[in-house]
Amino acid sequence: MAIEKVGIYRKWLGPVPKDKNGKPIPKSEWLRKRRYRWIARWYGTNGQRYGKVFETRKEAQKYASELQNRICLGKADKPRKITLHEFRLEHEKVMKGQIAYGTIQEHMRALKLFENFIGGSILLSRIQPRNAEAFVAHRLASGLRPMTVNKDIGTLHRIFNLAIEPRGYLTQGQNPFAKIRKRKMTQNPLRYVAVEEYRALAKQAGDIWWKGLISIAYGSGLRRNEILHLTWADADFENQQIHVSPKKETVETIEWEPKDHERRVVPMADETAQLLVDLQAQANEDSPYIFISPKRLKRIRERQKTGEWTPRSELINNLARDFGVIRGRAGVAQCSLHDLRRSAITNWAWHLPIQVVQQLAGHSDISTTRKYYLAVRSEDMASANKVVNNILAESRAN
């Protein structure tokens, strides 16, 4: 049976007729002078091409329509049998190069956990929603936070969708995680770093390397790895912009892809530009990177040769720890480098349309921008209080 659209075509019979001079007639005359039948063609789940010949077009169309309806109802070929363990091994192999290394690792982690729970020998087609629900209950009972379990649900939902299309191991409606609802949870408040706090961090940063990194995070809203992978070629001083772009594996650069594989351009504040100019004046002329020193790059190369390096390895060791030391010296409440990025996005949202903020932030889905990156600032709270006070004052006057 078919797994793709069924088509009907003419099937020409016998050799091409010849004209009075013994030459094959042109294709434009085949319809009038060459015998033919109608054939319905499709590809099966095994990759083989199939066809069925009919005398008339009407018969072929009727057959193709009936067969296509069976496909749409999920009654085509029975999917090829494959165990959960076999599927996990295949998934890791076929997804390489399609999604980021970190995403593959996350897929493998979730699949291994599910396999350990249910058993790797079970056929994919035998996995039921009750098995998925039992797995979720097991994860919650082990003391994990709902946020972690929700991540497992979302990851496995996406993976089993791939088992339906394009791989054809399951039919439509067979995703065991399709109707498993994520557990409700209270979202932690978003941390907004006020300008005064940013100033305190910059003052206590010490060397210009840290000052530049903090300035880019707060002013340009880049992710940590986006900052660390910046080269001097990415800094457009003339237009005061920073380009987030992929890097190829060369003698000078490490292979890297931005999240969601998207290039983008973000603004560079005046003081950020000045810090980078000062940092460039101190930099080694042979170093293409802004924040990765030649010494560190050499160490990374050594680890690559010995197989110790993966795309998930830390470009700069102890970055979070060292930022914590700076934060402590500055007397700033608990925050992370990512909170600086979140605060930059919140600052943009105060003055720019949300769709522009989404593009600058590098979010593929605008709901991500709205849900996770627009913190309520103290100024916003004060404005809200003012609105309420004005309304109450008006009601008393009336």
Using the 3D structure, point to which of 32, 48, 72 is the last residue of a domain: 72
Task: Identify whether residues 215 and 326 lie together within a single domain.
Answer: yes
More confident residue, 391 or 236: 236
The residue to which tokens 């042979």 are assigned: 286
pLDDT for 71 beyond 70: no
Measured on CA atoms in the order 190, 196, 202, 205, is the torsion positive or negative? negative
Q: Do 150 and 38 share a structural domain?
A: no
- CA nearest to 35, candidates 12, 10, 8, 16: 12
Under 8 Å between Cβ of 196 and 322: no
- 21 & 62 share domain: yes
Domain assignment present for 267:
yes
Confidence of residue 72 (pLDDT cuts 50, 70, 90): low
Q: What is the pLDDT of residues 149-190, one digit of tens each?
A: 999 999 999 999 999 888 888 888 899 999 999 888 777 788
The residue type at 166: P
The pLDDT-based confidence of 20 (bands split at 50, 70, 90) is confident
Check if the beta carbon of residue 340 is closer than 8 Å to that of residue 352: no
Query: Does a structural domain hold residue 278?
Result: yes
Q: Please state the rounded mean pLDDT for residues 129-144.
A: 94
- Is the distance from CB of 372 to CB of 190 less than 8 angstroms? yes
pTM value is: 0.67
- Name residue, tokens 């998925």: 132
Whether 190 maps to a domain, the answer reads no
pLDDT in tens, 324-342: 999 999 999 999 999 999 9
pLDDT at position 2 is 44
Confidence of residue 1 (pLDDT cuts 50, 70, 90): very low
- Residue 284: the pLDDT is 84
- The predicted-structure confidence for 344-390, as pLDDT tens digits, reads as follows 999 999 889 999 999 999 998 888 888 878 777 777 777 777 877 78
**pLDDT over 70 percentage in the chain:** 94
Res 47: pLDDT: 64
241 plus 274 within the same structural domain: yes
Q: Report yes or no: 157 and 110 within 8 Å, Cβ to Cβ.
A: no
Q: Which regions of the chain does DSSP assign to beta strands (E)?
A: 7-12, 36-43, 49-54, 235-236, 241-244, 264-267
Question: 34 and 67 in one domain?
Answer: yes
pLDDT digits (tens, 9 = 90+) for 78-115: 567 899 999 999 999 988 877 778 889 999 999 999 99
- SS3 (DSSP) at 243: strand
**Residues 15 and 88 both lie in one domain:** no
Of 111, 143, 164, the residue at which a domain comes to its end is: 164
How far, in Å, CA of 228 to CA of 292, rounded? 7
Q: Which of 143, 164, 185 is the last residue of a domain?
A: 164
Are 283 and 222 in the same domain?
yes
Res 77 pLDDT > 60: no
HSE-CB of 310 using CA atoms within 13 angstroms: 6
Same domain, yes or no, for 135 and 215? Answer: no
What range defines the domain where residue 222 resides? Answer: 195-372
CATH number where 203 lies: 1.10.443.10
What does the longest C-alpha to C-alpha distance in the chain come to? Answer: 106
Q: Is residue 179 part of a domain?
A: no
Over the chain, what is the mean pLDDT?
A: 88
Q: In this structure, are 67 and 155 located in the same domain?
A: no
Same domain, yes or no, for 341 and 205? yes
User: Pairing between strand 264-267 and 36-43?
Assistant: unpaired
| Rounded Cα gap, residues 297 and 256, in angstroms | 14
- Contacts for 324-332: CB closer than 8 Å, 24+ residues apart: 326/201, 326/204, 326/205, 326/206, 326/210, 326/214, 327/201, 329/204, 330/197, 330/200, 330/201, 330/203, 330/204, 331/200, 332/193, 332/197, 332/200, 332/201
Domain of 141: which CATH number? Answer: 1.10.150
Whether residues 224 and 327 fall in one domain: yes
Least reliable range by pLDDT among 120-124, 272-276, 305-309? 305-309
Q: At residue 30, what are phi and psi to the nearest 5 degrees?
A: -60, -40
Is 190:199 a contact under the CB 8 Å cutoff?
no
- For the chain, what is the domain count? 3
State whether 237 and 289 are in the same domain.
Answer: yes
